[in-house]
Amino acid sequence: MNKLSGYTQIEIGGKKRPFKMGMNASYLICEELKIPLEKLGDALSNANIGKNVTVVLWAGLYAGCKTDKIPVDFDRWDVGDWVDEFSKAGSVNQLMASLSEINENSFPKEKASKKKMRGKR
């Protein structure tokens, strides 16, 4: 992670691309999966991420491009093809681990925020 929470660069589709997991990507995921925001955690759980990986990747990549104010030069179909490439290369597990790490680090953890509040008193 660097300049923004939930922001990183990933090598996919033949080049490094910005990836941002946050509220905008969450909105896109919910819209694509036709689910309410409160069901997003279930969609991103380890049990479901495999079937939703292209949507999650597309949304994060789209949000990353918008954050960096660069043109979006791909669509969901392209992202699906890129996931296929990861599968052929045997690196889907690496991709899934990266997505899980990004997701875990995208939103503040409750314990961390309580500690910060206590220290400011």
Domain ranges of the chain: 7-119
> Which is nearest to 4 in space by CA: 99, 98, 102?
102
Structure tokens at 36: 């309410």
pLDDT at 28 over 80: yes
Query: For residue 109, what is the DSSP state?
Result: -
pLDDT category of residue 105 using cuts at 50, 70 and 90: low
What's the whole-model pTM score? Answer: 0.74
pLDDT category of residue 113 using cuts at 50, 70 and 90: very low
Question: pLDDT value at position 99?
Answer: 64
CA atoms within 13 A on the CB side of 87: 9
| 10 strand-pairing partners | 17
Question: pLDDT value at position 48?
Answer: 73
